Every structure is written in C-alpha cells, then in structure tokens.
Amino acid sequence: MNGLSQGLPTQKGPGAIIESKTAFVRRYDVNEDQCTSLLLSYTNAHSHSYPMLIGEHFDEDMKNQMALFLAQKYMVDFNSSHCTPLSPSLFRLPWDLASDLDYVKV
C-alpha cells in the first residue's frame, strides 16, 4: 500500500469517489489561504507565465497540499459512466489567481 492510499475508504459505488477525495483532502489538511499566498508571492516575484517553477523547494507535504489545492481549482467531479457526454455546465474558464484576490484580508 502506498502512502497516498492509506486511510482511504475502499468501498465501491457512486459515493465512494467523493468520500475518498474528502478523506484524501482532509489527510493533507490543505490550507487554501497559505497556498493562495504562496502562489501570489511567487507570481509577484517572477511572473504569471507558464511553466511556473513554484514548489521546487517545497517539502513533500507542501507539494501535496499545493497539488490538491490546484486540482480543486481546475477540476470538477463528474460521476458518470465511460462515454456519457459532458454537460456544458461543466465547462468553465480556467481559474485565475487574480480573480481570488478581489478582496482584502485583514
């Protein structure tokens, strides 16, 4: 068993994927404010252009947190069978860091 699968539910069925994702995210205790702050600091010091080299000096835990944070920003869960057409509502513009910074934190 690898480190990513420890402690995750093993049942099968429609709810198993969501429960597994929830357990996985909870295990790594993703700190959204910290991830946003790290991305903002990086883009201010370097640029918004890709590929970004952020994370080169992160420890394994922070790399996992950032990967989960970005996956949650870019992906949507969609429970279906293999060839089910995607609903147009699942297509959206890519997440933009600047759009999350339209507020001021005190």
Asked, for residue 6, whether it belongs to a domain, the answer is no
Which residues in the chain show pLDDT less than 70? 1-19, 99-106
Is the four-CA dihedral 43, 48, 53, 56 of positive or negative sign? positive
78 phi/psi in degrees, rounded to 5: -140, 110
Asked, for residue 58, whether it belongs to a domain, the answer is yes
Task: Look up the domain containing 97 and give its range.
Answer: 14-101
Asked, for residue 61, whether it belongs to a domain, the answer is yes
Asked, for residue 4, whether it belongs to a domain, the answer is no
Asked, for residue 5, whether it belongs to a domain, the answer is no
Asked, for residue 97, whether it belongs to a domain, the answer is yes
Asked, for residue 1, whether it belongs to a domain, the answer is no
Q: Which pLDDT score is estimated for 17?
A: 59
Counted domains in the chain: 1
pTM beyond 0.85: no
Asked, for residue 2, whether it belongs to a domain, the answer is no
